[in-house]
Structure 1
Amino acid sequence: METNGSGEQSNKTIIHYFYEWERLQPYKLFLCQPIGDSFVDITWGEAGRQIRIMATYLNSLGLPPKSTIGLVSKNCAHWLIADLAILISDHVSVPFYPTLTGPQLRQVLEHSECSVLFVGKLDDWTSLKTGIPDEVHKIAFPSYSSAVPAITDQAIQWDEIMATYEPMSGNPLPKPADLFTIVYTSGTTGKPKGVMLSYDAMAQALEKTRQQMVSDLPETRFFSYLPLCHIAERNIVEAIGIATGGTIYFAESLDTFAKNLASARPTHFLAVPRIWTRFQLGILAKIPQKKLDWLLRMPILSGIVTRKIRQGLGLDDAKLILTGAAPMPISLLLWFRRLGIRIQEAYGMTENLGAVSMMPADQVKDGTVGRVNEGMAVRTDPITGEIMTRSRWNMVGYYREPALTAATLKDGWLYTGDVGELDSDGFLRITGRVKEMYKSPKGEYIAPAQLEFGFADNNHIEQICVTGQQLPQPIALVVLSEAARKNDRPTITLSLEKTLKGLNQRVHTYERVKKLIVVKEPWTVENNRMTPTMKMKRNSIDDHYGNQYEPWFSREEVVVWEE
């Protein structure tokens, strides 16, 4: 099936929006940076002053127009200021994940040909700086706390630039076809690819999704904690925050996340499924499921309890609550819906600005990732089921990778690598990834993601990976939730066996999961089992555990505990 994209032209970029709000509301709060129990507040006017001074400095370096300028830092106010300074000085912004190792940073720095790099809020600067070539000019953000000291190693300091240079005058604007940014994918498989996106792409995506993004509120607030170098955060927080003239709050650290979110009380909030799972486990740790069910059945108590839960999370003012980047179990959506937290799924990828489809607030169709956006055309391959997209916000291509570009963009269609189905109402369902699907020894296709959904209702499971391409039947690796790890092994084993039995009764014989393996170590960004956006790195998981698959498969028990 195929939908037809259409729409009128709009070339209002985030630079247009920034100039507009800088002029109309210079004293309104734009960026709110927490430091301990206090905040550094930056107005639109003050942000404009710093952006313009930094643009003057960048222009003084004598770089060729449209040079690539890198940015590596955790989310903070100066991340956005630096990004906008790069853009208004007629250069191309290239953000990198702050969790990269030194060698990984060197690879993307050299590939992107960045000669200037902003460095900021980082956990391991000592390791990371080994990946920065000596000839790269470094600009250091100011320190936000004594726990994260200022970077001084051969870097010019932000405050020194602010004290030395004058603000750039005028309001230079880009051409629609100009390159806006190069976004490096998180690299779930292989090396990251540099996705080139134009100003026109961002302008079109903003315009065509404006209504769904609830951009007509008199006051908009955003909470920035997912990596800003990822397309979802760049869209939902930076682009929509600037387009609506809103206020953007930041998370100081993982330890202060809950406090910072409660202070921000965002009107727009995005969380990947694993964050929603953690929210659920946190709520259940305070109110066990049986007690919660009883409270929700009481007419008066129900309203009080759900309101307190939303307030406790900081979501009582949220008008748009989104999830994306990975599949979200229907059971989890329904669980939050009972609490008055209506999570809308969105689907896309870096290569199409993350803006393919979104669940309408007033027409929910669970099991899908929403309805295809206006201006976006979608079709699926009749044989493989691969999803293809076409729109004015498809990428220009992969930076310095013509062969990869030609294999992904064909006749205006972007081959996403995702497998799915499109219904007659324009709602899209994702069923897996082309590269993740594999053939059983008897030749039948197995989609791991669909089997993983079958474990979604078991609250003892925090992470799961179905694998075993070389085995007679699939196996599933399981990471237990924090609460489950404190429970006794026989109880957990019994629960996992019951869930597995229920799943296997619903699937084809060749899809039945033979063993559940409870692994000892959670999968994290630090141990390279997860991407910075909390997607599983299946290849890395297989590399780490692969030599134990056959011995585990041969064990007598159904639930195997890693020793």
Structure 2
Amino acid sequence: MSAASTPRTPLACIYDWERRCPDTVHFTQPVGGGNVVEYTWKQAVDQARRIAAYLQSLNFPPKSQIAILGKNSAHWIIADWAIWMAGHVTVPLYPTLAADTVRYILEHSESKLLFVGKLDGWAAMKPGVPKDLPVVTLPLAPPTEGEQWDDILARTAPLQGNPDRDLDEMATIVYTSGSTGQPKGVMQSFRSFYVCGTKMVDIMPSKPDDRMISYLPLAHVAERIVVETQSTYHGFHVFFAESLETFLDDLKRARPTIFFSVPRLWTKFQLGVEAKLPKKKQEILFRIPILGRRVKRKILEGLGLDHVRIGLTGAAPLPPPTIAWYRSLGLELLEAYGMTENMAYSHFSRPNAARIGYVGQANVGVECRIDPETREVLVKSPGQMMGYFKEPQKTAECYTADGFFKTGDMGEIDSEGRLRITGRVKELFKTSKGKYVAPVPIENKLGAHPKVEAVCVGGANQPATFALMLLAEDARKAAANDADYRAALEGELKTLIDEVNAGLDPHEQLAFAVVVKEPWTIDNGALTPTMKIRRNVIEERTAPKIDGWFAARKAVIWDA
């Protein structure tokens, strides 16, 4: 089946695959110890039908909210299908949330039932689940109270027929992680899934024999669209990752033909290769015609990326040197841009037409313009949300009078229509000199250094700007254990600051850089679930030290 010419929901697609390719494997799920379980279309849809029949037996009001809290798995997606099949609305929760946020989302969304899936920190999250909320545990879930998926399957007959939904019905409420305040519930319709499933063929021409690995949170619209929705509409094979420790093995098992990742992981892959094969040695080997091709191929094989024909990156800017390195291996990374509010259907770089530092041209049906005064990126997308759940005032505030969504991002468009994101409107700050500074472009320049994993530039109401730097894991360990390495790295960072400052206006120039001691992680709240920095959290934690850093008058400061 190819993308249908007539509008159809994800449910219509899975019924078609069930009928036409019942014995084709759709999911490969690791279950521990290097073992996997495979699910054909017939098996996966049969489970969805049984769970849907169970949900209907509970007699919830039509179009009730049903929540899913768990890491990616075959049963996460099957539960999503079952919720829709039963006539309800899916509310996905990130598998790394604090208990207070879990409670807020479950209560704000008015969820009637919670599916609990594979989780590492269930004990910390469980207090956020209301005592009277029914729970169903998916396979691989931690032991807890509630109905078990397999028990429901064993006693429940599959729902008959092919119950479908109207394209303009609400399909899901996706709570944005955000960088400040309580998350907002973004309401998306089945039409947004249809748009993403059928209109992206010029960028991501998926085929039934493609393979993808699902490991970025399915609670985020990017993974839900790029992996779940594309595979539902185009029928390709989806593999799942078991854990961070087994990820390379999982990747090699899948040998994906389409691979979607975020900048931090693309960078980690590169640093892992350079730890075994230093950059200077690579450059020498790459110049030798036949041997160079073999080495490049070997590197991609070692990463499990040797079959990738479409490489996608999004969520944050990827340093140009990293993009160039992958291109040197023969893998063109295509940057993408989108938001929860438009189902990530906004901008994609086209193959052979990508410009480094730009997130590509507007997708089919998308209109984009730049506000002439604020430089804010304004987008009108066919994947636009129905609004924020129970927040009509906030919904109204985020649109222009003629219906363009205010993204909050600043940008510019080149002569070919490609968009470049230059910062966040609200992230602009003034130093005590009274001039505005956009931190993101400075962070991108500093973050291009191979030993720097992430950067946060601050300086609001201070005499000058400064940078907080998180070192890459290998550099962090080496600096902690080897004084000579640390001294050499300090010299590199001083040079980096000088080079970056040379390209900045005087009021933007960095007074110093602080090498942070504590890693920024999702668990400690410094990163969003999509691994963007939470600027407000980092700034709040470091505020008491700022005066001391300025007083130290050093170019590089090692946080104690």
TM-score bracket, normalised by the shorter chain, equals over 0.9
1:10 Cα offset (Å): 5.0
Match of 1:246 in 2: 236
Letter in 2 for 1:62: N
Q: How many percent of aligned residue pairs carry the same amino acid?
A: 44
- Return the alpha-carbon distance in structure 2 between the equivalents of residues 397 and 214 of structure 1: 30
CA distance, structure 2, for counterparts of residue 426 and residue 123 of structure 1: 43
Match of 1:452 in 2: 443
- Normalising by structure 1, we get a TM-score of 0.96
Tell me what 1:146 maps to: none
Q: 1:25 and 2:21 equivalent?
A: yes
Deviations 1:132-186, CA, capped at 9 Å, x for gaps: 112211111123xxxxx64332x01111100111000111111111001111111
1:245-275 CA-partner distances (Å, limit 9, x unpaired): 1111111011101110111011111110000
Instruction: For residues 363-408 of structure 1, give each alpha carbon's deviation from its aligned partner in whole angstroms, at most 9, with x where no partner exists.
Output: 1222211111110000111100111111221111100111111111
**TM-score for the superposition, normalised by structure 2:** 0.96
1:69 aligns with 2:66: yes
1:355-370 aligned within 5 A: 355-370=345-360
Work out which of the residue numbers 228, 245, 248 in structure 2 matches 1:258: 248
One-letter code aligned to 1:48: V
SS at match of 1:521: coil
After TM superposition, the structure 1 = structure 2 runs for residues 438-449 of structure 1, keeping only pairs within 5 Å, are 438-449=429-440
Specify which of 301, 323, 330 is matched with residue 320 of structure 2: 330
What secondary structure is seen at the aligned counterpart in 1 of 2:491? helix
Match of 1:107 in 2: 104
Aligned pairs (5 A) from 1:368-447: 368-410=358-400, 411-447=402-438
Determine the C-alpha separation between the residues in 2 that align with 1:430 and 1:82. 36
Q: State whether structure 2 residue 505 is matched by structure 1 residue 505.
A: no
Contact between 1:141 and 1:150, CA under 8 Å: does it hold in 2? Answer: no
Amino acid at match of 2:508: E
The equivalent of 1:477 in structure 2 is 468
Measured in 1, the distance between the counterparts of 2:26 and 2:44 equals 8
Matches within 5 A, 1:150-549: 150-153=142-145, 155-215=146-206, 217-410=207-400, 411-485=402-476, 486-487=478-479, 488-549=485-546
Aligned to 2:39: 42
SS at match of 1:99: coil
1:91 to 78, 88, 92: 88
Q: Residues 500-557 of structure 1, C-alpha deviation per residue, up to 9 Å, x if partnerless?
A: 0001011100010111001111100111100111010000001111111121122121
Q: Does 1:116 align with 2:106?
A: no
Tell me if structure 2 keeps the 8 A contact 1:10–1:203: no
Match of 1:16 in 2: 12
With 481-490 and 93-102 compared, the bigger mean Cα shift is at 481-490
Listed as ranges, the gaps of 5+ residues in structure 1 are 1-7, 144-148
Letter in 2 for 1:29: V
> What CA deviation, in whole Å up to 9, does each residue of 1:396-438 have, x standing for no partner?
1100111111111233211110100122321111000111111
Do the aligned partners of residues 416 and 92 (structure 1) sit closer, same or farther apart at CA in structure 2, a change above 3 Å counting?
same
CA drift of 1:332 comes to: 1.0
**Structure 2 Cα separation of the partners of residues 288 and 491 of structure 1:** 17
Query: What CA distance in whole angstroms lies between the structure 2 residues aligned with 1:357 and 1:127?
Result: 37
Q: Runs of 4 or more off by more than 3 Å in structure 1? A: none
SS in 2 for 1:52: helix
Which residue, 78, 83, 88 being the options, matches 1:81? 78
Measured against aligned partners, the alpha-carbon deviations of 1:264-306 in whole angstroms (never above 9, x if no partner) come to 0111111100001100110001101111111111101111011
Tell me the amino acid that sits aligned with residue 444 of structure 1: K
Cα distance between partner residues in 1 of 2:179 and 2:299: 34
Alpha carbons of structure 1 residues 57 and 522: separation in structure 2 relative to 1, 3 Å: same
In structure 1, the residue matched to 2:128 is 131
8 Å CA contact retained: 2:357, 2:420: yes
